[in-house]
């Protein structure tokens, strides 16, 4: 959710912090604020709204220069988005400043205790209580790091905290529990952030912070301890993309850039997956062949767009690996009596690796002794550390809130996992697996071909900007694609949109059909002749009732032409791989329609990139 940046070094902290916030604005944009320690004084500035409001305020009244600073972009949970509730928050003395990502669940009790003791709290946030708790701990003795460790012991919930204190003028302290925080290691300077994008222009060397750890950041070095003060082991890593990957590159929106990057992202996800022996190899798997052979059931857990990738995974796993597969919304998974055992494999999908619902589902599965495999895009995030194995999607940074290239690379990842399990279990011969991977390796050029033909889709989207509702229909793997298309339209265009399994049309949804209603239909390949013929019948039914039919069908499929008001062609590919090409027009459609409505495509209202609270 919220974007966090901290800096200590020899350069002007304010410049580096604001630059970092600009790279993290996708994480939270209800308000923004900074704190700088200069000449022994803690100076803060904060404004509601987008980061530009803070920039304007800083231009009108620049704070004194300092080399120690931190900043925050907020996605509101407790308290409405206004100047008063923006971070940083300070204590009664003005000597401690705190920024926070997450939710402190016991803040009401802590606030009551503080107010009873005479503290004056000026905001409606849960975060401000931490500043006052630190104030009390510092009065009791010790440095800021020790005070942070003691305060963290009293907090319940998920949080990343970063604090500064006038009594420790060369120190920034961070703490994390169930919420992302990463260290950037520079030369005579160091960084803290909720995402490496914040400091990628300055260093690509990073340190993963583990669960319940506190980091002390000085220009001279970094020290990490647990909440008890014991030295903690850290994992250093090198970020494999540079600052240019986090820039718009001439596109009006990050989303447009990320849609265009999909052929490269798919290719990168496939890179190096075939060994010298011609067998599929997944270096990050970490689950033995024996363990995979023992699996008798697979459960996929995910949220949002990743959940739709999981629905497609079910088709691939059951078809290729011959194992029963269930797909669960991660937010619901641990609140029912799911049947798990040591022979259950749970696959958790999360672009960020910090999705709280997915992490809690993984922890619940671990308590039940299930095997756990993660699919994630972000090296150094929490999810990979909590799984028995991980498949990184290598999509590069995805800045736009609405997921595009992360979704396509997640599809590639689930295909690879399904084929790998099939290879290990012997449900597919080696040459069959190799042949399918070869087909996958040709998919980047197929996606590129789709992207080259999208101008009619953009024109269509602009023509529908006055509509209030769009329906999406699909069968087989086209059904999750329909769900994804509807989700994109909801996220970006703020329109009512629904995805349905086409076979369910006459079980209720057909009542929604009225004259002129746009209905997008994802047609299966002709190779699935039964499903193909049935969905052509569905198109005829809705068109007979006045719907405006927008049909996505493979090249050469002439049978749909008489019934399509608008026909969108995609390359012919195997059925299970078709979502890689049919999803792309729906991404372009939603992006263009939202743009025509005048919406901010990268930062749709009320949404944040990574949902790090339940």
603 in a structural domain: no
Instruction: Give catalytic status of residue 257 as yes or no.
Output: no
Same domain? For 58 and 114 the reply is yes
Same domain, 8 and 119: yes
Q: Which domain holds residue 475?
A: 451-596
- Tally of CB atoms within 10 A around 442: 11
Alpha-carbon distance of 407 to 515, in angstroms, equals 33
CATH number of the structural domain spanning residue 305: 3.40.50.10490
Q: 166 with 290, same domain?
A: no
Active-site pick, 257, 314, 490, 609: 609
- 376 and 308 within one domain: yes
Asked if residue 190 and residue 316 are part of one domain, the reply reads no
The DSSP bridge partners found for residue 508 are none
Q: Which helix (H) or strand (E) holds 390?
A: strand 389-392
Is there a single domain that holds both residue 309 and residue 408?
yes
Residue 523, phi then psi, degrees to nearest 5: -90, 130
Could you give the CA distance from residue 45 to residue 57 in angstroms, rounded to a whole number?
Answer: 8
List Cα–Cα distances, 243 to 197, 240, 248, 397, 563, in angstroms. Answer: 8, 10, 10, 10, 48
Q: Measured between alpha carbons, how far is 220 from 217 in angstroms, rounded to an integer?
A: 8
**183 in a structural domain:** yes
From the list 468, 475, 456, the residue with the least C-alpha distance to 550 is 456
Q: Is residue 517 part of a domain?
A: yes
215 forms bridges with which residues in the sheet? 174, 224
Q: Of the residues 2, 376, 387, 591, which is catalytic?
A: 2
Which CATH number is 179's domain given? 3.60.20.10
Kindly tell me the burial class for residue 478, based on how many C-beta atoms sit within 10 Å of its own C-beta (0-12, 13-18, 19 or more).
buried
* Domain's final residue, options 202, 222, 246: 246
Q: How far apart are CA 553 and CA 558, in angstroms?
A: 9
Name 326's Cβ contacts closer than 8 Å, sequence gap at least 6. 297, 298, 299, 300, 314
CA 131 to mean position of chain CA atoms: 29
Residue 608 lies in a domain: no
Three-state secondary structure along 222-270? EEEEECCCCECCCEEEECCCCHHHHCCCCCCCHHHHHHHCHHHHHHHHH
Global confidence as pTM = 0.76
Residues 138 and 115 in one domain: yes
Are residues 297 and 188 part of one domain? Answer: no
Is the domain of 230 the same as that of 287?
no
133 and 220 housed in the same domain: yes
477 and 343 within one domain? no
* CB-based contact 85:76 (threshold 8 Å): yes
Q: 93 is written with which tokens?
A: 């003395």
The pLDDT of residue 303 is 94
CA distance 177 to 105: 13
Last residue of a domain, one of 196, 216, 246: 246
Residue 142: per-residue pLDDT: 86
Domain-located, residue 607: no
Last-in-domain residue among 384, 406, 441: 441
* 609 has catalytic annotation: yes
Domain presence at residue 109? yes
Give the span between the Cα atoms of 182 and 11, in whole angstroms.
20
Please, what are the averages of pLDDT over each run of 10 residues along the chain (614 residues)?
Answer: 89 95 77 93 92 93 93 85 92 95 89 95 93 96 94 90 95 90 95 90 90 95 95 86 67 91 92 84 87 96 96 97 96 90 96 90 94 90 89 87 95 97 94 93 96 96 95 96 97 95 90 93 88 91 94 94 95 96 98 95 79 58
In the Cβ-directed half-sphere of 484, how many Cα atoms lie within 13 Å? 32
- Is the residue at 614 inside a domain? no
DSSP H helical ranges for 426-560: 430-441, 443-451, 455-463, 478-493, 529-544
Q: How many domains does the chain have?
A: 3
Same domain flag for 404 and 501:
no
Cβ contact 46:220 at 8 Å: no
- Report yes or no on 602 lying in a domain: no
């Amino acid at each position: 959710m919220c974007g966090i940046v901290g800096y200590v070094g020899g350069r002007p902290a304010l410049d580096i912090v604001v630059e970092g916030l600009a790279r993290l604005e996708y994480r939270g944009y209800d308000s923004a604020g900074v704190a700088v320690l200069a000449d022994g004084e803690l100076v803060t500035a904060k404004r509601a709204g987008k980061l530009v409001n803070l920039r304007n305020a800083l231009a009108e009244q620049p704070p004194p220069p300092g080399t120690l600073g931190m900043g925050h972009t907020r996605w509101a949970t407790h308290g409405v988005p206004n100047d008063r509730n923006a971070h940083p928050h300070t204590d009664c003395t003005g000597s401690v400043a705190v920024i926070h990502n997450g939710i402190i669940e016991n803040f009401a009790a802590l606030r009551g205790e503080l107010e009873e003791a005479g503290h004056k709290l000026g905001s409606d946030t849960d975060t401000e209580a931490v500043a006052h708790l630190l104030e009390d701990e510092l009065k009791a003795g010790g440095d800021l790091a020790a005070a942070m460790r003691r305060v963290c012991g009293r907090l319940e919930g998920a949080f990343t905290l970063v604090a500064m204190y006038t009594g420790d003028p060369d120190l920034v302290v961070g703490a994390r529990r169930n919420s992302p925080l990463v260290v950037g290691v520079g030369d005579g300077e160091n960084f803290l952030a909720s995402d490496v994008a914040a400091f990628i222009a300055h260093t690509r060397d990073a340190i993963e912070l583990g669960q319940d750890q506190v980091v002390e950041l000085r220009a001279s070095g970094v020290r990490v301890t647990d909440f008890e003060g014991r030295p903690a082991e850290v994992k250093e890593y090198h970020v494999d993309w540079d600052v240019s990957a986090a820039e718009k590159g001439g596109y009006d929106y990050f989303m447009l850039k990320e849609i265009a990057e999909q052929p490269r992202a798919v290719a990168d996800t496939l890179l190096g997956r075939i060994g010298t022996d011609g067998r599929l190899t997944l270096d990050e798997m970490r689950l033995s062949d024996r363990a995979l052979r023992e699996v008798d059931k697979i459960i996929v857990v995910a949220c949002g767009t990743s959940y739709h990738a999981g629905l497609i995974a079910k088709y691939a796993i059951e078809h290729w690996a011959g194992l029963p597969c269930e797909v669960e919304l991660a937010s619901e998974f641990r609140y029912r009596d799911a049947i798990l055992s040591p022979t259950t494999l749970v696959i958790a999908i999360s672009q960020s690796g910090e999705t709280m619902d997915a992490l809690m589902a993984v922890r619940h599965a671990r308590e039940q002794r299930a095997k756990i495999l993660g699919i994630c895009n972000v090296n150094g995030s929490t999810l990979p550390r909590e799984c028995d194995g991980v498949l990184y999607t290598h999509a590069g940074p995805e800045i736009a809130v609405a997921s595009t290239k992360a979704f396509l690379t997640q599809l590639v990842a689930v295909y690879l996992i399904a084929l790998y399990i099939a290879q290990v279990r012997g449900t597919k011969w080696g040459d069959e697996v190799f042949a399918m991977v070869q087909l996958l390796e040709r998919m980047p050029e197929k996606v590129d071909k789709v992207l080259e033909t999208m101008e009619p889709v953009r024109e269509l989207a602009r023509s529908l900007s006055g509509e209030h509702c769009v329906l999406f229909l699909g069968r087989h793997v086209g059904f999750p694609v329909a769900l994804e298309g509807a989700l994109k339209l909801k996220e970006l265009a703020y329109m009512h949109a629904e995805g349905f399994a086409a076979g369910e049309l006459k079980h209720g949804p057909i009542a929604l059909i009225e004259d002129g209603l746009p209905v997008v239909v994802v047609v299966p390949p002709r190779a699935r002749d039964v499903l193909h013929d049935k969905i052509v019948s569905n198109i005829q039914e809705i068109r007979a009732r006045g719907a405006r039919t927008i049909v996505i069908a493979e090249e050469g499929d002439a049978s749909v032409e008489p019934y399509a008001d608008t026909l969108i062609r995609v390359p012919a590919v195997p059925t299970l791989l078709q979502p890689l090409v049919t999803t792309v027009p729906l991404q372009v459609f939603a992006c263009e329609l939202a743009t025509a409505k005048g919406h901010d495509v990268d930062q749709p209202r009320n949404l944040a990139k990574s949902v790090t609270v339940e």
